């Protein structure tokens, strides 16, 4: 057994009713696959479809060049964060690989895994980050953290300048690319 097998990080998921989830997942090897408007649109469409299929509310999001933050609230007592993530990530991967096969096969080398059964990856293998949240104060802090991610990275000077987030929905200055469900956010 290698060091990596012994010390591999595990993402523990707790599918607890009435808990919100802060989710973060990254592109394969931290590559900036989400710099393309095309792939960001694939992601937005996948999240919208997953919202309908898995019945969750989206409270906040930001698409960074190489990772994604989501704050979601499953509406049902029984749900699976793993299935929600699979719905989102698998759809984006398939579309991105298909697009590159048809239009720019040379770029597939950036997704190549060297594995026998999984030739290409858009997303980093593994569960990513999942934190259950029940406190309104923590939810508000998380939304602020998510929206300020592009500022901390130096991509924009104000959160409102980043098109690929829900910040405009929250500050009332417009709408992001994905409708957010502010009406279900806890008041107290």
Question: What are the phi and psi torsion angles at 72 (to 5°)?
Answer: -125, 160
Predicted TM-score (pTM) of this structure: 0.91
20: β partners: 133
pLDDT in tens, 81-127: 999 999 999 999 999 999 999 999 999 999 999 988 889 999 998 77
Say if 43 falls within a structural domain: yes
Say if 6 falls within a structural domain: no
Query: CATH number of the domain that 96 lies in?
Result: 3.30.70.1290
pLDDT in tens, 19-58: 999 999 999 999 999 999 999 999 999 999 999 999 999 9
Please answer whether residues 75 and 56 qualify as being in contact, where contact means their C-beta atoms are separated by less than 8 angstroms.
Answer: yes
Domain membership of residue 28 as a residue range: 12-184
Q: Residue with structure tokens 């502010």? A: 182
Say if 151 falls within a structural domain: yes
């Amino acid at each position: 057994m290698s060091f990596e097998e012994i010390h591999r990080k595990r993402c523990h998921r707790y599918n607890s009713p009435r808990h919100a989830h802060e989710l973060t997942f990254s592109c394969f090897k931290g590559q900036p696959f989400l710099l393309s408007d095309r792939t960001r649109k694939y992601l937005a469409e996948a999240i919208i479809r997953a919202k309908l299929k898995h019945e969750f509310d989206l409270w906040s999001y930001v698409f960074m060049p190489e990772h994604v933050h989501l704050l979601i609230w499953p509406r049902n007592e029984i749900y699976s964060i793993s299935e929600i993530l699979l719905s989102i990530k698998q759809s984006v991967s398939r579309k991105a690989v298909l697009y590159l096969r048809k239009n720019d096969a040379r770029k597939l080398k950036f997704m190549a895994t060297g594995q026998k059964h999984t030739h290409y990856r858009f997303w980093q293998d593994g569960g990513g980050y999942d934190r259950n949240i029940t406190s309104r104060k923590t939810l508000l802090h998380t939304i602020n953290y998510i929206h300020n991610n592009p500022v901390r990275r130096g991509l924009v000077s104000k959160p409102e300048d980043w098109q690929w987030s829900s910040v405009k929905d929250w500050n009332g200055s417009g709408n992001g690319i994905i409708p957010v469900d502010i009406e279900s956010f806890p008041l107290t």
